[in-house]
Amino acid sequence: MLTVGLTHFLVISAILFSLGIYGIITRKNAVMVLMGVELILNSANINFVAFARFGAFGLSGQLVALFVIVLAAAEAAIALAIVLNIYKTFSNVNVDEISNLKE
């Protein structure tokens, strides 16, 4: 019978990470980009938890994952506030149309 090992977790994490990157790069909507970022954070969490389970790290991996979740929540709050401000200024939230940075 197939036993689930560290490799499986890492593959899942890598897939999630890649999906996150893909989302960030391809989505126009800023909210969707934020969701990509959340995916990347969660792939990192999976890595933490996986290494904690199969390594000799005790519970510290899980603890870090918890911190990351809290931080992700905070980050999402701030990012959404920024998105709201962007909407106020430009009347949309499409990142490819907001290119004021080059000026």
Nearer to another protein, 3 or 100 (CB): 100
Rounded Cα distance between 103 and 63, Å, is 43
Rounded Cα distance between 78 and 42, Å, is 18
Nearer to another protein, 65 or 93 (CB): 93
Cα dihedral across residues 31, 37, 43, 45: positive or negative: negative
- What residue ranges bind another protein (CB under 8 A)? 21, 24-25, 33, 95-96, 98-103
Closest distance to another protein from the beta carbon of 1 (Å): 36
Nearer to another protein, 91 or 103 (CB): 103
